[in-house]
């Protein structure tokens, strides 16, 4: 039986070597990596290979790139795959469960931290959602429904929560579009609860906001 030779690109070799150096302790957490010219000389490769290697490490969470400052060690452990890609193969029920948990915390913080400008954005998003439902524009309605919840996430003033929610909602949006084409339903079926959610956030009523989310998920 002949041996199978697996060829790796230069950027993959550089990325793996840098990761090994980070694991071994050559570079500590939050330590800045050498500049591109230094890495180019060390590995004997071109600038494009170094940049691609850094991009691979950034995508797996090993390093973080700060514009104008450099590249820093973020973690010794690489993610097996980006979250957005992991969600593509996840069970829909799992995605929905995590999205619900995120929304419960988001509406709680939004009710406490929202500003007048946030309220304007939330109300405008809801208006666009409802208008799309009136016009029976499915794709627009799905997108505006997601945008409505994202506007609430932004009002929570927690950027990590917001980014996580955007990742989950984007994946769920793609699945919803495919699934919604196969069955008929009313796009206004939860409009009343969306309006109650806005009222709760305006009134800074955390309990009322949480109840609205639970109702949307069929748990009132």
On the question of pLDDT at 129 being above 60, the answer is yes
Mean per-residue pLDDT, 174-182: 58
Q: Are 118 and 155 in contact (CB under 8 A)?
A: yes
Confidence of residue 151 (pLDDT cuts 50, 70, 90): very high
Confidence of residue 173 (pLDDT cuts 50, 70, 90): low
Q: CA 19, CA 11: separation in Å to the nearest integer?
A: 12
Can you list the domains of the chain with their CATH numbers?
10-73 (1.10.10.10), 83-216 (1.20.120.530)
Q: Can you tell me which residue has the tokens 């800045």?
A: 32
Dig out the tokens for 152 from the structure. 């609430």
Q: CA 125, CA 154: separation in Å to the nearest integer?
A: 12
Q: CA 18, CA 97: separation in Å to the nearest integer?
A: 37
Confidence of residue 4 (pLDDT cuts 50, 70, 90): very low
Confidence of residue 1 (pLDDT cuts 50, 70, 90): very low
Task: Please give the backbone phi and psi of residue 71, each rounded to the nearest 5 degrees, phi first.
Answer: -110, 130
**Which pTM value belongs to this model?**
0.63
């Amino acid at each position: 039986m002949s041996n199978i030779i697996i060829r790796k690109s230069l950027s993959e070799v550089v990325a793996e070597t840098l990761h090994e150096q980070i694991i071994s302790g050559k570079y500590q957490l939050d330590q800045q990596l050498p500049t591109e010219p230094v890495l180019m000389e060390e590995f004997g490769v071109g600038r494009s290979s170094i940049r691609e290697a850094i991009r691979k490490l950034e995508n797996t969470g090993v390093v973080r790139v700060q514009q104008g400052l450099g590249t820093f060690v973020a973690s010794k452990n690489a993610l097996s795959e980006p979250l957005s890609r992991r969600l593509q193969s996840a069970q829909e029920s799992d995605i929905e469960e995590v999205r619900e948990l995120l929304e419960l915390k988001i509406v709680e913080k939004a009710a406490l931290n929202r500003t007048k400008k946030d309220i304007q954005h939330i109300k405008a998003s809801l208006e666009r959602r409802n208008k799309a439902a009136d016009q029976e524009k499915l794709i627009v309605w799905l997108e505006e429904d997601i945008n409505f919840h994202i506007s609430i996430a932004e009002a929570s003033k927690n950027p990590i929560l917001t980014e996580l929610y955007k990742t989950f909602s984007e994946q769920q949006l793609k699945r919803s579009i495919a699934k919604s084409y196969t069955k008929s339903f009313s796009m206004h079926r939860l409009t009343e609860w969306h309006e109650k959610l806005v009222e709760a956030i305006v009134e800074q009523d955390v309990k009322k906001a949480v109840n609205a989310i639970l109702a949307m998920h069929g748990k009132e």
